[in-house]
């Protein structure tokens, strides 16, 4: 039988938010390939370990690999920096698969379909033809869903579309006239720029950080009124948990 690689969406931090399909998949592989970058973030790694502890029967094995370094020196060429980084990761993961026979799992944070490179990297490994396997993708509960559930909101008005983008591209989505914008991958709090342009009053925000963990914090309200609180909570959680991952919905007032 051909060996199998499984990309397992493990949810966004809480062990109860792992699907039955993911639990079966976690128990079906011989080892997990985990990058040292993922392991380096203390609290994040604890959340991942807890998911394994609660859902895997018996022991599990992590094959640790070095994470490729991403070139952040030229912010104008983001696309190329990410492509180079994917290529470097491809070679590292390919070697781990060649060196370690058996079925391999990847613990993918949230859902593999949102801002995650695992599927692209696995496709690249297959295209290189140096190692053979079948692979499958197990969906996970995304931070997008946890945000909506915690705030008890629908991400859009009745029949409206919603846009999911990154902090880096928020301004573009606002200029394009989108009304319901979910923002992920926030190196900084990009919505602050709307406030600086005097547009804070035009937007309501539902913000959440470290969702599903003991450090989870939620803030909602008019952007102009709650930005200071969000900035303060962001720094506080970073200090306390050692990591901050936040996501928010911006809704334009009409």
Ligand X SMILES: C[S@@+](CC[C@H](N)C(=O)[O-])C[C@H]1O[C@@H](n2cnc3c(N)ncnc32)[C@H](O)[C@@H]1O
In the complex, the residues that contact ligand X under the rule CB under 6 A are: 12-13, 109-111, 114-116, 142-143, 184-186, 208-212, 245-247
Round to whole Å and give the CA distance between 194 and 201.
9
CA within 13 Å, CB half, 193:
13
Round to whole Å and give the CA distance between 101 and 188.
41
CA nearest 230: which of 243, 213, 247? Answer: 247
Closest CB to ligand X among 125 and 244?
244
CB of 86 to ligand X, least distance (A): 13
CA nearest 12: which of 165, 153, 213, 217? Answer: 213
Closest CB to ligand X among 95 and 169?
169
Q: Which residue has the tokens 């399909």?
A: 21
Closest-by-Cβ residue to ligand X is 110
CB of 141 to ligand X, least distance (A): 8
Round to whole Å and give the CA distance between 189 and 24.
37
Closest CB to ligand X among 104 and 247?
247
Closest CB to ligand X among 112 and 200?
112
CB of 219 to ligand X, least distance (A): 12
CB of 182 to ligand X, least distance (A): 9
């Amino acid at each position: 039988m051909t060996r199998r690689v499984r990309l397992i969406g493990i949810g966004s931090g809480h062990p109860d938010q792992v699907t039955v399909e993911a639990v079966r998949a976690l128990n079906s592989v011989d080892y997990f390939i985990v990058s040292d970058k993922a392991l380096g973030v203390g609290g994040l790694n604890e959340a991942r370990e807890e998911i394994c502890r609660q859902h895997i029967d018996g022991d599990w094995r992590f094959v640790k690999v070095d994470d490729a370094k991403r070139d952040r020196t030229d912010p104008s060429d983001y696309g190329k920096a990410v492509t180079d980084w994917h290529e470097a990761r491809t070679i590292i993961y390919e070697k781990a698969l060649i060196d370690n026979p058996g079925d391999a799992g990847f613990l993918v944070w949230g859902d593999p379909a949102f801002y995650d490179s695992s599927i692209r990297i696995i496709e690249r490994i297959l295209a290189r033809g140096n190692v053979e396997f079948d692979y499958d993708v197990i969906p996970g509960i995304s931070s997008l869903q946890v945000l909506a559930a915690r705030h008890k909101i629908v991400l859009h008005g009745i029949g409206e579309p919603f846009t999911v983008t990154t902090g880096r591209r928020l301004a573009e989505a606002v200029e394009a006239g989108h009304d319901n914008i979910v923002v992920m991958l926030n190196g900084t709090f990009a919505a602050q720029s709307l406030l600086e342009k005097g547009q804070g009053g035009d937007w309501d925000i539902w913000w959440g950080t470290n969702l599903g963990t003991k450090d989870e914090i939620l803030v909602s309200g008019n952007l102009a009124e709650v930005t200071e609180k969000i900035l303060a909570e962001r720094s506080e959680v970073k200090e306390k948990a050692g990591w901050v991952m936040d996501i928010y919905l911006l809704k334009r007032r009409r």
